[in-house]
Amino acid sequence: MTGDQPGSPPTRPGLVRTLLDRFGHLVRELSKFATVGGIAFLIDFTLFNYLTTVRDVEQVTAKTISTVIAASVAFVGNRFWTWRHRKRSNPAREYALFFFFNAVGLGIAVACLAISRYGLGSIWPEVFQTPLADNIASFIVGTGLGTLFRFWSYRRFVFVEAGNPPVPEAAHDRPPGA
């Protein structure tokens, strides 16, 4: 790199260094979250397809069961690996909030599946009432949207930074005594 002193280690350009300093922790968290989520996804995907094809469980019921089991694995992975550096609050509080936000994420995935299977499927059943359509609606669309929501909510409300309790941002904007 230009401008480095002979014999000294090379330096990163100012912009790259600034971005890594500012967002490096977020990239590490996202990577760990993605790994934990990938494992949970495989559990969810495998169990859903096992329940619907081998055990003949109705699709929405199977999705609910597979998501609850996968979410339990995800809680352990996120608490003890992804956000292990963050303050531990009351474990019951973390667990309850984690599963509340997972329920919302489950609702997102189930809504995508239900819209595809029962909404669009009533119009075009040979396309939208198939295992392929169920998997696309549930695992690509539903899980994608649910994952974005989960990352934001876990980071903001469940595994909070030490010294940064979750408070509404509007509270910062009020003058003292208001």
How confident is the model over 150-162, as pLDDT tens digits? 999 998 898 887 6
57 has pLDDT over 90? yes
**Cα angle, residue 63 at apex, residues 130 and 111 outer, rounded to 5°:** 80
| Euclidean distance between CA atoms 167 and 96, whole angstroms | 18
What is the predicted pLDDT for the residue at 56?
A: 95
Residue 9 clears pLDDT 60, i.e. is over it: no
**12, part of any domain:** no
Task: Give the C-alpha separation, 164 to 126, whole Å.
Answer: 51
Has residue 128 got a pLDDT over 60?
Answer: yes
Q: What is the mean pLDDT of the chain?
A: 83
Closest CA to 100 of 68, 142, 140: 68
115 lies in which domain range? 29-161
Q: How many domains does the chain have?
A: 1
112 by Cβ neighbours in 10 Å (0-12 / 13-18 / 19+) ranks as buried
Please check the confidence at residue 140 and state whether its pLDDT lies above 60: yes
Let me know if residue 174 belongs to a domain: no
Residue 21 has pLDDT above 80, yes or no: no
Number of C-alpha atoms within 13 angstroms, CB side, residue 85?
7
Residue 110 lies in a domain: yes
Whether 37 is covered by a domain: the verdict is yes
Average of per-residue pLDDT across 130-137: 92
CA 125 to chain centre: 31
Mean pLDDT value across residues 42-56:
95
d(CA 56, CA 65) in angstroms, rounded, equals 13
- Give the length of the chain: 178
Residue 24 is assigned to a structural domain of this protein: no
Residue 66 domain-assigned?
Answer: yes
In this prediction, residues 27-52 reach a mean pLDDT of 92
Q: Kindly give the residue spans of alpha helices, DSSP state H, lying in 14-139.
A: 14-49, 59-77, 91-114, 121-123, 125-128, 131-135
- Does residue 136 or residue 89 have the better pLDDT? 136
In a domain, residue 89? The reply is yes
For range 118-129, the mean pLDDT? 91
Tell me which of 29 and 119 has the higher pLDDT: 119
Question: Residue 57 falls within a domain, yes or no?
Answer: yes
Of 72, 96, 76, 93, nearest in space to 84 by CA: 76
**Structure confidence at residue 174 as a pLDDT band (50, 70, 90):** low
What's residue 177's pLDDT? 57
Query: What pLDDT, on a 0 to 100 scale, did the predictor assign at position 145?
Result: 93
- pLDDT category of residue 73 using cuts at 50, 70 and 90: very high
